[in-house]
Structure 1
Amino acid sequence: MRQGGRKAILLGYCVCCCHLVATIVASVLGSQDRGGEPWPNAVAGGLDLAGKGDQGGVKAKEAPFRSSPTGEPSGRPRHRHHHDDDGSGRHRHRSQHQHHHHDSSKRPNAGQGRWGPYFEDPENATSVSVPLGGSVHLNCRVGMLHDKTVIWLRRREDGVSLLTVGDATYSSDSRVSLRYQYPNNWRLHISPVEKPDEGTYLCQLSTHPPRAIYTNVTVLAPELKVVDEHGHAVNDRYYKTGSTIELTCRVTNILTPSHVVWTKDDGPLPAKVTTTGISDVTAGETQSQLIVPRATTLDSGVYTCAISVFSFVEVQVHVLNGEKQAAVQHDSWGGSSGFVEPPPPWLNLLCTILTNGYLRKLYHSLL
């Protein structure tokens, strides 16, 4: 019995020793498969410290829990994420952040709405000069418009006018239209350009608050005026029959050499009318004189001085019969002023006699 008990005890002790040796061998082999890292330092749960503090704009974040070979969740972060500065996890996260930041900074107007519409052209005011009678295209390139709308407005001293909304034209002027140019240019087209088209044009987005770019349009137009023989600008001029009509058309700010054309009542001049012209191309000025000798009532009408269909000036001429001695002259420099020709001498004498007789009677009656 004693020998049997001793054998049992020795057998149990041997089994324990074998189990211990097997455990140690298994642990060593598992450590080599993990790259030589001791298990307690290799796997942990909690915070994944991808960097040192907040350096590089990347903050520490909570990492997912991992399981140990025994199936138990670990409670500490893996050391290679913390100490390995060249770890792919940290640098990959940081490079993605930097790439996103770079793209957002390259986009125009990035600070005014990350995903909203933006103008591809500078938002500061620009200026455009166009000759009278020409055409003008005002660009408005908008990126990421989405569900917003592009609106064109014109602002002048007399108020603000709505021109277009989207691709629809709201202006009653047929010269104004919207001509969309692929991929994102909402161009406003005006042709032919007239002098009243001067002003500030706004391309506005229907955002909140609204955003707009401004374009100042200047129309380059020559200046025309008609002056009489005294050099005064006139719109209406009165003459007696038999007198000579002398009108001079002065044109300044000429962009290109131009020829002055006179017409009467939108037709050719009568045969007896003569015109002479003097041009100074260097100074950008020219003038033409119109002369009508021995004027009659048939010479009354509208005389027009023009250098193009867009640049002209008109003057109304009235020729009165000899029986109608009253003449009224309307000049732009002096407004409207009336004058009566001096009466004949006999009428002056009669008025003097009658006036003196009346005053004499009045004097005696008072005495």
Structure 2
Amino acid sequence: MTSARRLDNAPWLKTGPAARVLKLLNTDGEEARVVGGAVRNALLDLPIGDVDIATTALPEEVARRAKAAGIKCVPTGIEHGTVTLVVDAKPFEVTTLREDTETFGRKAKVAFGRDWVRDAERRDFTVNGLSVDPEGNVHDYVGGLDDIAARRVRFIGEPEKRIAEDYLRILRFFRIHAAYGAGEPDSAGYLACIGGRAGLIGLSAERIRLEILKLMVADGAAGSVTAMVEGGLSLPIFGGVAYTGPFAALIGIEQALGLSPDPIRRLGALAVAVTEDARRVASRLRLTNAETKALDSMGHRWWRLGGMDEARARRRLYRLGEERYRDRLLLAWARSGARSEDTSWRELASLPARWTAPKFPLRAADFLARGIAQGPELGQVLALAEDAWLAAEFPLDQAALDTIADQAVARLTSKP
């Protein structure tokens, strides 16, 4: 299959850091093109992220030319043909054309070559198998242009074979479909993913985490996740039940409130009903400490946030902080079955924008002056006073604060 389109909305091919790299490598009998996601996104009029470049030049030649041009070259994966050139603080992965000589998972042996067709055929999906030269000519050897037009994500070649090469491609299939596909997933690819799902168990948690968190925030996440669950793919990943209804509901709520998609919040809606779920998911995906704490907080008695009056909601907001309050509240809302237009839930969700919790005004010195010594009792009396202050709806006048402090001391000292 030959080129069938020119890319006219890619000024970065003509000027700027990417153009400089292409010019450097397109001389003296060598050729370089932009490949993969940048080409796909440009064709779909979507923002361009990383710009990856493939070349006929061997890694040593790429490094030699970069040095001669005063461009920083980092041998990030030179044994696999990849070096990173840094131009104007922007990194570009440059990889020599390759073809598989033996395939056994991610450890496949590759040989460097000069055949653009063979290089395209070893990529994962047709929409990622396109390349574009400096003149803007799109080269398509795998049917990627037709699939981009149809918003269809298909494996290159036999899906079962491509999945066996790297089982992470199962997750990438659903993630790429969620981000760039439309309608139902490609049936051949979908069935192959189901057939190969046992291979997910052997993947590292870190690789799974990256794909899952990207999937969580993709535009079509609800449909792709539902397809995964229906295909029996969620259990090997999360080790428990997946709740597609609350997941879809949370996405609708975020959109209704104008909130940016949050991967951990969405993960909580999908896989967390209680704190034990949060800890299991965090362990299986090797979440960071911050991500684990956020997920654990969401799962902690979220059901108590439904039907709160304003006073109780303020106490929850004070205790949890704005971010934890919002995440736990949205989980409760998503699991309640209420619509995203529900007035009472919207009122609760808008509380952080309408009210800022004051700081607890009593300090240790207030209780030292009342005869409480340094030590455990000081912490206990402060906790008693803070609870009473919350119950009294955050008074700040001195008379009320004195009464709360005196009563807290009396409660503490009256204990046997």
TM-score range, shorter chain: under 0.3
Structure of larger gyration radius: 1
Per chain length, whose mean CA-contact separation is higher, i.e. which structure has more relative contact order (CA < 8 Å, sep 6+)?
Answer: 1
TM-score normalised to the size of structure 2? Answer: 0.17
Structure with the higher helix share, 1 or 2: 2
